[in-house]
Structure 1
């Protein structure tokens, strides 16, 4: 069997879709950090094990939720995501194997209400792993568990519906870039003028051409521009952190 864990806060628009996509798979653990909408009511009606945990950071929240799971295999899903039917079947086969520790799963992005082109290169993340072999670090955002042992790549995808508007996507990159910059600064990384100059055009080329977002028309161009700006913001805010550190001395 498998445990699915989801961290939430005010996700009444999304949580039902996520939970219905994992029906029949096993235990579902929902850890909430203070929803004021119907998130918990919906989750409880769909037989999830619901609990509260004060928000201390994404990695810490997911580590706490993972530790509440009681099965050997665990799957992390965000509230604004769902499993594709293909992935669901694939996971149920994978967890019968004893020769692997986890799996990379491609993320099928929906941007402005539409899915990306099927041959656009997708980002993949370790979302499925044996509980005893995986743990999270202290990253503020875009946290990925460290898993001991063999990791395989799955073909089925997780559908992500979170980027419903340009406003949402820009707000997200502003928030995430701040956390990523602080993480980098605390690890001793420093900014450079060369990277500040080159990171945005290079990130655009990677997103638009190499990852084939050009196949997504205007949405692909807009998304790639925002992705490039996100890369720039991380470097700019790293420099900002350096300036703040100097001013305190």
Structure 2
């Protein structure tokens, strides 16, 4: 058996369905980032542990959770509130943890959007590290999200999990991604100043995760990023095959990319007065 963590913030619309999907395990811990809605109230109706911890970042929240919240089992699975555990995935996880070869497993998400699975423009199969052996996997920050640090080899599961993105409506999606774009802009600026593109991983990466991370680092350096992202997703990946949902998804992602670009420009402009002021003092 393995434990299940559920990460939440203002998830009153999703939390009960998420918990119900996870009740295949007898050890569920809801880690709430101090929600202002009824998330905690709804979660407490179920036989689960509920812990609140102020949110700093996705990477820090996960690492704090793994270091400070004991679990009944050595292995744990991480769920977001808008994701679901499935019986088939749960069964495969039970088989996977019998193997001591790996310290973690990647699972592919199925993005559910506008009442359908949009398979093509979401880079399916797009893997996230979800099942892990505690004490062997940690997380660091990358933009608005996180990247895993694994002290050992990792594997890939065949079953997938549904991710009901935008389940709380377009207004919530736009509000959330407006916040995310600020962190992405800071990471973009840092990568442009200090980072490099791993061409080996981009061209010859051993896994989808390695290639995707390298492609992300390359995309930060390309001109016309919002337009290129739309064309890449809608034409190259085949988003047009996903119908109206695919077009809408590609448009939203291009808009998100444009928000990041705008905020990178804004951050650069904020740095200029300091630089100009220093130059003026030196010349004086």
- What interval of TM-score do these two structures reach, taking the shorter chain for normalisation? 0.7 to 0.9
Per-residue deviation, 1:188:
5.7
Per-residue deviation, 1:120:
6.4
Structure 2 Cα separation of the partners of residues 26 and 119 of structure 1 = 36
Counterpart selection for 1:131 from 130, 134, 137: 134
**Structure-2 residue corresponding to 1:51:** 51
Contact 1:112–1:166, Cα closer than 8 Å, also in 2: no
Contact 2:62–2:138, Cα closer than 8 Å, also in 1: no
**Structure-2 residue corresponding to 1:169:** 173
Per-residue deviation, 1:213:
2.1
Per-residue deviation, 1:82:
0.5
Query: 1:228-247 counterparts in 2 under 5 A?
Result: 228-247=254-273
How large is the RMSD of aligned CA atoms in angstroms?
A: 2.4
Determine helix, strand or coil for the equivalent of 1:104: strand
Q: Which shows bigger deviation, 140-149 or 104-113?
A: 140-149
Structure 2 stretches lacking a partner, 5+ long: 195-219, 276-284
Question: Greater CA radius of gyration, 1 or 2?
Answer: 2
Per-residue deviation, 1:118:
7.9
CA distance 1:109–1:44, shift in 2 (3 Å): same
Per-residue deviation, 1:233:
2.8
Structure 1 Cα separation of the partners of residues 142 and 9 of structure 2 = 19
Per-residue deviation, 1:139:
3.6
How many matched pairs? 246
Per-residue deviation, 1:196:
6.3
Determine helix, strand or coil for the equivalent of 2:155: strand
Structure 2 Cα separation of the partners of residues 118 and 207 of structure 1 = 8
Matched, 1:22 2:22: yes
Structure 1 Cα separation of the partners of residues 87 and 66 of structure 2 = 23
Contact 2:111–2:122, Cα closer than 8 Å, also in 1: no
**Structure-1 residue corresponding to 2:92:** 90
Q: TM-score, normalised by structure 2?
A: 0.77
Structure 1 stretches lacking a partner, 5+ long: none
Contact 1:29–1:69, Cα closer than 8 Å, also in 2: no
